[in-house]
Amino acid sequence: MKQYAHWDKEKNAYRIYDPNSPNVTLGYADSASEAKQRAADEDSELTVEKRLFVDMDGTLAVFRPVDTMETLYEEGYFANLEPQPDVIDAVAELNRREGFEVYILSAYLSDSKYALAEKNAWLNKYLPFIDDAHRLFVPCGTDKTTVVPGGIGREDYLLDDYTANLLAWDPPGHGIKLLNGINHTKGTWKKDMIRHEQDSDVLAGKIASVTFGRHVYDDKSRTERDEISR
């Protein structure tokens, strides 16, 4: 028998269920390891569901500096942002894996005529596998955690380039900082971090590793590592 478990914030426990009857609760466990042991005792296989929330600007898309704020309100600014292909491919790979549910979580200029529509158009172009139900947008300046379905739980992970968003998320969730070549200048984030300039399979593997409790700390760029190895 195949079983799934996901974190139930209201119960403060892992809810166990049969994927063929997802509305029927088989039981609760205080930890993922307890849920897995319970399944093993029943000769069942258990998958702990994890939710991965991914930022857009500076994470999926290359951050493009502007001289004035007015540029952000121009038609085409968000639609024409350059993608980070390896990050996108890594997210696509995780989306295909059993036990992962991927969401886009992005802030937008609510007073712009173009921002929200262009962000959706950008996703349609580069991540069409993410449906509308898994695209979450908040007005700039709004706490991203406010739109998370059911609230943040232990198995919720945020991949973002901005420390303030990660600090608001972790705890109770887990933050993963994407180092995009221009951020992390102050070194304020001390937890898991991953540099963008890696192959997609490596990025996907490192993100998955964090969700399985392994620490990832890419504190040096590829160029810096090459220099050290010489």
Range of the domain at 27: 2-48
What number of other Cβ atoms are within 10 A of residue 83's Cβ? Answer: 15
Does residue 67 fall inside a structural domain?
Answer: yes
Whether 54 and 44 share a structural domain: no
Name the pTM for this structure: 0.86
d(CA 170, CA 145) in angstroms, rounded, equals 10
Whether 25 and 137 share a structural domain: no
Does residue 160 fall inside a structural domain?
Answer: yes
| CATH number of the domain to which 118 belongs | 3.40.50.1000
Total number of residues shown for the chain: 230
Whether 40 and 81 share a structural domain: no
pLDDT bin (cut points 50, 70, 90) of residue 206 is: very high
Secondary structure of residue 47 in the 3-state scheme: strand
Token pair 């004035």 is found at 68
Whether 20 and 127 share a structural domain: no
Fill in the amino acid letter for 26: L
Q: How many domains does the chain have?
A: 2
Whether 42 and 56 share a structural domain: no
Whether 28 and 138 share a structural domain: no
pLDDT at 129 over 80: yes
Q: Is the dihedral of CA 145, 169, 51, 221 positive or negative?
A: positive
Give the tokens for residue 126. 């580069």
Beta bridge partners of 105: 136
Query: What are 137-184's pLDDT values in tens digits?
Result: 999 989 999 999 888 988 999 999 999 999 999 998 999 999 998 888
Does residue 81 fall inside a structural domain?
Answer: yes
d(CA 130, CA 160) in angstroms, rounded, equals 17
Whether 131 and 21 share a structural domain: no
Evaluate whether 76 touches 114 at the Cβ level (below 8 Å).
yes
d(CA 91, CA 99) in angstroms, rounded, equals 14
Whether 29 and 83 share a structural domain: no
End-to-end CA distance of the chain: 53
Identify the pLDDT of residue 157.
96
Whether 137 and 170 share a structural domain: yes
Does residue 230 fall inside a structural domain?
Answer: no
> Which residues, other chains included, contact 215 with Cβ-Cβ below 8 Å and sequence gap of 6+?
192
Query: What are 3-38's pLDDT values in tens digits?
Result: 888 888 788 888 999 888 888 899 999 988 888 888
